[in-house]
Amino acid sequence: MSVIALDQKAKDARPARETAEARALRETTPTHWFPYAAPHARGRDVRENAFSFRGISRKFGDKTVLDNIDLDVPAGQFIAVIGKSGCGKSTLLRLLTGLDRPTSGTLTVNKGAEGQNRTRIMFQEPRLLPWARIAKNVEVGLTGIAKGPQAHEQSLAILREVGLADRAKEWPSVLSGGQRQRVALARALVAHPYILALDEPLGALDALTRIEMQQLLERIWLQQAFTAVLVTHDVSEAVALADRVIVIDHGRIALDIDIPLERPRRHGSPELARLEGQILDTLFGSAA
Amino acid sequence: MMKSTGQSLLHSGAAILRNGTGWLLPALIVLAWEIAARTGLISPNVMAAPSAVAEAFWRLLLSGELVRNIGVSTARALSGFVIGGSIGLVFGLANGLSGLSRNLTDTTLQMVRNIPHLALIPLVILWFGIDEEAKLFLVALGVFFPIYVNTLLGIQSVDPQLVEMGRVYGMSRATLFFRVILPGALPAIFVGLRYALGIMWLTLIVAETIAASSGLGYMAMQAREFLLIDVVVLSILIYALLGKLADSFARLLERLTLQWHPAFQTA
């Protein structure tokens, strides 16, 4: 099953667009799927895991930042990771992207179609090269994958996607914060990643630009069908974008819920507010 | 149409004026100087009049002496600069990139740096006499440190977040160096380059006035022997011009390579 590198016409075939059947399947526990057959064989067929954490711990000296985390994320899922600052959510991303190694446990990151095992990370800061023009910055995302005119072609295509095709020849310093973050998104997406890790990428943007970026992110995720892991401290952002939200508290997964709402979701709808309340209760205790 | 032409003329006039304002004060000073010399306010054996300096310039230009001496001095300055600058750059890059190399050499280099290189002149004369090597050695030594220190500083100040980004995107060490680290260090390297150019002329002047048999400094010292004050002043002016020329060249290079820098963006 091809998970990446799908062209934009074949949208309906994407696992990201979860069908009712697939959701029902995901919401029942694996043992109940096919009691008469080997459960994982069919399960993998529908939705293989993009990555799984098995008993992952990460300690810095005496301090345990992640404590025995078990987490399976199916390919194409949009998962949001919420937690107070210092709860270990960024460490989780750094482990996933290979920037850091777990102290114990096993981390499996599956390959995408045609062995394109690409995990990309988008940071809180754009981290653009100030000395490279916008198109060249996007081409950084194709390091070791494509070169020259082909890379340029691809970078222009993805810039068109994020609405910045006309800025391709400019320096990053003349762009606004939101535009720079869009370039960073284009750079992360240009090689069609299998997993996109987002480390509070919208945290530094103003409220209106944030909403715009959320919509852009959702649209591109629906088109490209990558697995998205969004680390955020904004609960409303998490429920607006994600299929599933996990809350990390003191290095453990304190809550793991699905957000079974139709897209596009309306900001401020009662269902979102209810889920938001449930998550906040987990974070601060129901008394708060 | 007429109006726009007039406006653009006005604009270019304003531009010339803006660029020319820097030269206004020197021109006034020269004028006052000439008047003071003509009226006898400044005695001719203290300071030569600008017209006398111009005359000396013309005389030496015709005899070929001036061109030859400028040529000799420039060749010395540049070859010393190239030698010292490239060694400084190599050490700066090596120590910026490798902790081992830094641990090994930085302390030694910092100790040597604190010796004023001109204090070595007596020693250098004993070693090399007053031949070319002496001047090359001094210029190279003088140029080495600003380039070294600033290259090292430049590399150490490259944003570690950008380096991490480069690694995440799978850049090889060479790509990382040429795409991220070197461009990031370039502004600081240019600061070092401009410092070094200043030190290059300074060192050469001192070395040539003390121990030389040709070059601008030698020309000035010879003129002093014969009380040719106009030639002495001329040599000093030429040094000033050469220094300014070198600095403008460095600025031009800076503007070409640092186009991305907000400080160099015109639009």
Question: Do A185 and A200 sit in the same domain of this protein?
Answer: no
Does residue A42 have a pLDDT over 50? no
Question: Do A41 and A69 sit in the same domain of this protein?
Answer: yes
With pLDDT > 90 as the criterion, what percentage of chain A qualifies?
38
Pick the CATH number of B44-264 from 3.40.50.2000, 1.10.3720.10, 3.30.9.10, 3.40.50.300: 1.10.3720.10
Q: Choose one of A156, A191, A226: the last residue of a domain.
A: A191
C-beta atoms of B265 and A171 within 8 A: yes
Question: Do A31 and A114 sit in the same domain of this protein?
Answer: yes
What's the confidence (pLDDT) of residue A8? 41
Residue-range definition of the domain harbouring residue A141: 125-191
Question: Do A34 and A175 sit in the same domain of this protein?
Answer: no
Question: Do A38 and A114 sit in the same domain of this protein?
Answer: yes
A5-31: pLDDT as tens digits: 334 444 444 444 555 555 555 555 444
What's the confidence (pLDDT) of residue A159? 94
How far B164 CA sits from the closest chain A CA (Å)?
9
Does residue B166 have a pLDDT over 80? yes
How far A64 CA sits from the closest chain B CA (Å)?
24
Mean pLDDT of A74-78: 91
R_g of chain A, CA atoms, integer Å: 19
Half-sphere exposure of A16 (CA within 13 A, CB side): 27
Question: Do A59 and A131 sit in the same domain of this protein?
Answer: no
Question: Do A227 and A278 sit in the same domain of this protein?
Answer: yes
Chain A positions in Cβ-Cβ contact with residue B256 (cut-off 8 Å): none
What's the confidence (pLDDT) of residue A23? 58
What's the confidence (pLDDT) of residue A167? 93
How far A190 CA sits from the closest chain B CA (Å)?
11
Look at residue A5 and tell me if it is in a domain. no
Closest to A191 (Cα-Cα) out of A128, A145, A238: A145
Does residue A99 have a pLDDT over 50? yes
Question: Do A94 and A198 sit in the same domain of this protein?
Answer: yes
What's the confidence (pLDDT) of residue A261? 86
As given in the structure block, the two tokens for residue A261 are: 């709402």
Between residues B81 and B12, the one the model is more confident about: B81
C-beta atoms of A131 and B260 within 8 A: yes
Cβ of A171 under 8 Å from any chain B Cβ? yes
CATH number assigned to the domain comprising residue A51: 3.40.50.300
Residue of A nearest to B180 (CA): A129
Question: Do A101 and A197 sit in the same domain of this protein?
Answer: yes
Look at residue A112 and tell me if it is in a domain. yes
The count of structural domains within chain A is 2
What's the confidence (pLDDT) of residue A73? 92
Question: Do A180 and A222 sit in the same domain of this protein?
Answer: no
As given in the structure block, the two tokens for residue B100 are: 């081992």
Does residue A44 have a pLDDT over 60? no
